[in-house]
Amino acid sequence: MEILFVNLGSLCDCFVSTCVLRGLRKVYNNPNIDVLVSDEEHKLVFKYSKNVKNVFCKKDIVPDKIYDVLINLSPDELGSLTAKEMHGFGTENGNQFYDVLFGEKKINKNIFQVYYNLSGMAWHGESYDFRYNPKCRQKKNRTGILVANTNLKRYIIEKLKLDKGVIWEIPFKTNMTKRLDEINKCTNVITDDFFTMHMSIYLRKYVFFLETLPKTTKTELFGNGKVFDIPSALVK
């Protein structure tokens, strides 16, 4: 079974969408999966995923063949790419989710459920299919914080009644694996950044997620965190 999995979205979008690969292995019995992403940096997300055979970016030459299944999680034109079975954007079912991912239409599902529905499958709690082992070890009783807004940072520290001695400012790294290494030094993580939230959940940290922007989907922390609705006055 040959599958082409397309996600031309952000690095965070690609990271979260790896959850779909778990479902594909179950439904299609350990298929060969090719992945198409937007650029070289995003290839790294799928480097550690089981059953991924090749990862291409838009500038690469994707094999001119008809796949058994094509799953498109981006509303971009796919040109000549086609398959015997197609799911996601470009299909009637997929187009129903456009406003959920790129507009303001709210839905009572989390992003994992949406990606699974786009892929023609039902979500059963699958999380990220990513297999990177951090190079840094966890420090005992360390609460990492990655929040740029000073007022918001002060607010959440006071609300959680945190001892300033256990708070550690997570350094921002542009390289994804180096960011994972830094996050892994923490026991708990406080952040308002979606990608940091997802990476922290992957690393099994307890996450205090500060929801500062309107969401169209439910926030899923897999029972290992808490979501805070933040007063709008703090983030203006």
Please list the rounded mean pLDDT of every run of 10 residues in the chain (236 residues): 94 96 91 93 88 87 83 84 89 82 89 95 95 90 92 91 88 93 96 96 96 90 94 75
> In the prediction, which pLDDT does 66 show?
86
How is residue 148 written in tokens? 């740029």
* Residue 109 and residue 9 share a domain: yes
Q: What is the pLDDT of residue 95?
A: 79
CATH of the domain at 106: 3.40.50.2000
Question: Which pLDDT belongs to residue 80?
Answer: 77
Distance from first CA to last CA of the chain, Å, rounded?
A: 50
Tokens 């997300």 belong to 45
Give the burial class of 28: count Cβ atoms within 10 A of its Cβ; 0-12 exposed, 13-18 middle, 19 or more buried: middle
For residues 18 and 99, state if they share a domain: yes
For 75-119, list the strands marked E by DSSP.
Answer: 83-88
Residue 236: the pLDDT is 67
103 and 33 share one domain? yes
Query: Does some domain include residue 131?
Result: no
Please state the domain count of the chain: 2
Same domain, 106 and 11: yes
Q: Are residues 98 and 191 in the same domain?
A: no
Q: Identify whether residues 19 and 63 lie together within a single domain.
A: yes
Angle, CA 65 vertex, CA 60 and CA 71 arms, to 5°: 80
Q: What is the CATH number of the domain that holds 222?
A: 3.40.50
Same domain, 9 and 75: yes
Measure the CA–CA gap between 210 and 191, rounded to whole angstroms. Answer: 6
Residue 19's closest CA among 133, 134, 106, 111?
Answer: 111
222: nearest Cα among 146, 127, 130: 127
Q: Does one domain contain both 210 and 110?
A: no
Same domain (yes/no): 81, 147: no
160-164 long-range contacts, CB within 8 A, separation 24+: 160/190, 160/208
Q: Give domain status of residue 161, yes or no.
A: yes
Domain assignment of residue 192, given as a range: 143-234
Q: What angle do CA 122, 5, 13 make, to 5 degrees?
A: 75
